[in-house]
Structure 1
């Protein structure tokens, strides 16, 4: 049940009636008509822009349309008042019973309240993390993993058919560097001094890999040239790193549906086929690119390359897919990989990239548009950096990783639930500070604690009511006399519950799971406010001694809040707290 959608449907029906009555010209387009909360809650419960967007095509003044629309809407029992404001906005007030009916729906649907058919089974692929398999995941990967997983859960909740995918970048030179680094640890395991020269990976995380290589090969590889061990150790070390990465993801409760390998694209003809598909569309040619910005003619060597005409699909410049020596650029296998996703029947693609991939967005979007003939949209979400602090100071680097703070470092100190929630308290393209002291403090300024405390309070109230003999199962609470909830503060909390389905759809459309975290903080604030008012106004306390009917109604309200908090935390991948310790 989305009450905002229901009232919008009422507005659209009223507009249709106005057309039939000759009060509006026929055939007006109403797609831009919205019904949403007003900017100022004092103006009403909902506001519609109908008169504003229809005035010009109807050839009428906005207020002229708004006045007639207001009269028609107030004839419906769901609307208690309709007031024209400003140039023609229409503010609506709903009968209180409409908000209370939402509570019954929430209790009746339980965990499914707010689920949407918005996606209508659309197949959507969310590719995220996709870290190079050269070491443990760092804090930047942590934010990308949390964002991608929460976005996938949000889209699933909104009715999409979602696949979580990890693209293993195991086809480039970095895996050769990994193999050489692992070989030095293998030498170390055999009692020799490792030569961790510049350019190799220095982290201690490769020591167990070296020991595992010794257990498998003994000292048989020590005297062999690189050409004889590179391929085998590369595969061994890559598999070991992927096992480590899977373990890191498991710490965050992230599970992938599919792992795709870049290396698997080579030698299969898939890269060639993808490029040939673009060539058949006239988008591949031989040419020379202009020098990059900042280059002078003296240090720029023009050379002919095989280029993708990405400018035909919105890119700033055309992009090379093959080098002058005949080797594929790193872009070519990525084109093939995205064609594979299109070929697998996905209707939409989402890529979650680090902030350093900003220059990659237009070229990849252009490639997907060209490969799918514009049928499959690609949305690239960039994840900005995370700055870590502890005791007011930047958090120290991880010795084990060698060069960065690992995901494991963060989760071991803050916990998976705190880490996940806090990583979603900012929009993905905004920088985020992660202060270990602040994310663990028990205060209103800590969103995750504040929301969890609200859920714990709800459980405490339910337990107390049950001990007093109040039936607290959802079916019984749905039958409570909710008309007893007549205080403005109680109705405000009910209105916040009613916003949940709308919030889900807005967040899903925008691909913005942080909106769920914001909503949870807001509804937790409403609950805490009502709780605190009960300290002074006894009639607002959730348990009313000697008044079973009033208690049941108030517990129904509280439980409905618990339904949406649990659902929202579920989308964020956070376990609701039953009690605070």
Structure 2
């Protein structure tokens, strides 16, 4: 641990392999809200974990700029544009009411004057959509930066379609008889939205475990969500050995078909994992906070980071398995309690830092260290600390960064337990004025634990604290 320092726990398990992780990918229709936060942190921590395990990682954000929601955004911005030119406007039901669109309208009014006032939608929709999406991405990137998240690549759905990627994917799959023209079976009971009694290009997803074959185009010739996703994954699979998507749990129903598509597109050679992330319920003093993006009363990511800090947000999002329910209580996440993992792990590191300050003040010199002076209780902590490389390996293999947080909590608990023994037994304290040999050995042990905490927190994107305030 001492020799490897910041590299302790690193491995070469992923050497020579490239992993593409797509995460966040929120619709570019407004600033980031807390509904996006957990997936953002899980994806970013997983990216860092895989890099620590030796993989080359591509961090990707898929910009959904070809769907109906960005047209709604453009219409909302057009209203703000008219407002900026002096018109009194009301935001009708179905458009985005947020004040964050006011500056976008002002920018367009400054640039174009009244050119697009009273003009048919066809003359301004594409322009306003493009400008609005660009402005929203500036907001989104700034919000993510506050959380310490920076993507390598932003892929545009609109550009993907303009480049003919969906057609290329369809051609590839038709050549392998995995897409055919057919009709969906009439459903029993209520008709689902994706069924039409017409001939459609269908992907043979039933060959890969799905419950029915899926259309890649609508009857009007437009690509279905699945068809667009298929093209996107077709592109990603050409540049990476493994793919990971971080999705909200509300998309669980589409996992089978996209996994089937990637298996088909890559001949089963590309590992593909979809990690589902449950929503976070925001609480304040035990009471839930209600959010509605359409109503404009959502809690933004920036609001939360400004209130409790980046590190508290990031650590808290990793304190449960991604697909488990989570409550984020503004009071509890800053509580100085053993029940608050953020505090508990940081307190362990702060205690270790305080040991070194006190040792320096006492003039303790540890040029030589005799580790044979560590006793059985000390060695139990050494053995637990030595598990860190295995934890990194298994967490990376399982694509589960929360395992790092769980381990750090247990490591901190072991350190605290050893520390607290010294409250009743003076001979068990880390600093012994009458025994410099044991003192130096225990300081060396404590520094090793501190190094592991720093390494683990680094994977999580969290800064280790030197003292509690």
CA distance in 1, matches of 2:302, 2:185: 44
Which of 53, 70, 81 in structure 2 is aligned with 1:175? 70
For residue 471 of structure 1, report the CA deviation from its aligned partner: 4.4
Shift of 1:416: 0.7
State how far apart, in whole Å, the 1-side matches of 2:191 and 2:174 are: 32
The answer to whether the 8 Å contact 1:252/1:416 transfers is: yes
Does the 8 Å contact 1:189/1:211 carry over to 2? yes
- Root mean square deviation of aligned Cα: 1.8
Q: Is the 8 A contact 2:237 2:270 kept in 1?
A: yes
Task: Give the whole-Å Cα distance in 2 for the aligned partners of 1:560 and 1:134.
Answer: 46
Aligned residue number for residue 322 of structure 2? 428
Contact 1:421 1:574 in 2 (8 A): yes
Q: Could you say which residue in structure 2 is the equivalent of 1:373? A: 267
Q: Are 1:462 and 2:350 counterparts? A: no
Deviation per CA, 1:293-315, whole angstroms, max 9, x where unpaired? 64269x97522211111111222
Contact 2:201/2:216 (<8 A) preserved: yes
Which residue number corresponds to residue 411 of structure 1?
Answer: 305
Which of 278, 286, 289 aligns to 1:392? It is: 286
Are positions 1:267 and 2:155 aligned together? no
1:129 aligns with 2:53: no
Structure 2 match to 1:480: 369
Q: Kindly provide the CA deviation profile for residues 28-59 of structure 1, in whole angstroms up to 9, marking residues without a partner as x.
A: xxxxxxxxxxxxxxxxxxxxxxxxxxxxxxxx
Q: In structure 1, how many angstroms separate the alpha carbons of the residues matched to 2:146 and 2:273?
A: 27
Change (3 A) 1:207 1:400: farther
Quote the Cα distance in structure 2 between the aligned partners of 1:400 and 1:455: 43
Task: Give the deviation of 1:292 after TM superposition.
Answer: 4.4
Task: Please tell me whether residue 233 in structure 1 is matched to residue 233 in structure 2.
Answer: no
- 3-state DSSP class of the match of 2:338? coil
State the shift of 1:219 in Å: 2.2
Among candidates 235, 242, 251, match of residue 340 of structure 1: 235
> Counterparts of 1:296 and 1:512 in 2: how far apart (Å)?
38
How far the C-alpha of 1:120 sits from its partner, in A, is 2.0
Aligned to 1:564: 452
Q: What is the TM-score when the length of structure 2 is the normalising length?
A: 0.96
The DSSP-based 3-state class of the residue aligned with 1:213 is helix
1:535 lines up with 2:423 in the alignment: yes
Question: Is this contact kept in 2: 1:427–1:514, CA < 8 A?
Answer: yes
Equivalent in the alignment of 1:512: 400
Is this contact kept in 2: 1:163–1:257, CA < 8 A?
yes
Secondary structure, counterpart of 1:535 in structure 2? helix
CA–CA distance in structure 2, aligned partners of residues 197 and 401 of structure 1 = 11
Q: Distance in 2 between matches of 1:206 and 1:172?
A: 19
2:437 corresponding residue in structure 1: 549
User: Matches of 1:516 and 1:399 in 2, distance apart?
Assistant: 33
> Structure 1 residues 369, 449: CA separation in 2 closer, same or farther (over 3 Å shift)?
same
* 2: CA distance, partners of 1:399 / 1:329: 25
Change in CA separation of 1:148 and 1:485 when aligned onto 2, cut-off 3 Å: same
Residue of structure 2 equivalent to 1:452? 346
Residue of structure 2 equivalent to 1:579: 467
Structure 2 partner of 1:47:
none
CA contact (8 A) 1:262 1:333 kept: yes
The question of whether the paired residues in 2 share the 8 Å contact of 1:125 and 1:165 is answered with yes
Separation (CA, whole Å) in 2 of partners of 1:467 and 1:119: 44
Q: Secondary structure at the match of 1:151?
A: helix
CA distance in 2, matches of 1:321, 1:296: 18
Question: Which has the larger displacement, 550-559 or 196-205?
Answer: 196-205
- Could you say which residue in structure 1 is the equivalent of 2:141? 246
CA distance in 2, matches of 1:526, 1:193: 64
- 3-state SS of 1:353 partner: strand
Q: Is the 8 A contact 2:96 2:294 kept in 1?
A: no
The CA distance in 2 between the partners of 1:120 and 1:325, in whole Å, is 46
Equivalent residue pairs, number: 468
Unaligned runs of 5+ in 2: none
**Using a 3 Å threshold, how does the CA distance of structure 1 residues 562 and 378 change in structure 2: closer, same or farther?**
same
Structure 1 alignment gaps of length 5 or more = 1-105
In structure 1, the residue matched to 2:203 is: 308
Q: Contact (CA 8 Å) 1:398, 1:406: kept in 2 or not?
A: no
Q: Is the 8 A contact 2:19 2:243 kept in 1?
A: yes
SS of 2:216's equivalent?
Answer: strand
1:457–1:264 CA distance, 2 compared to 1 (3 A): same
2:104 is matched with which residue: 177, 197, 209? 209
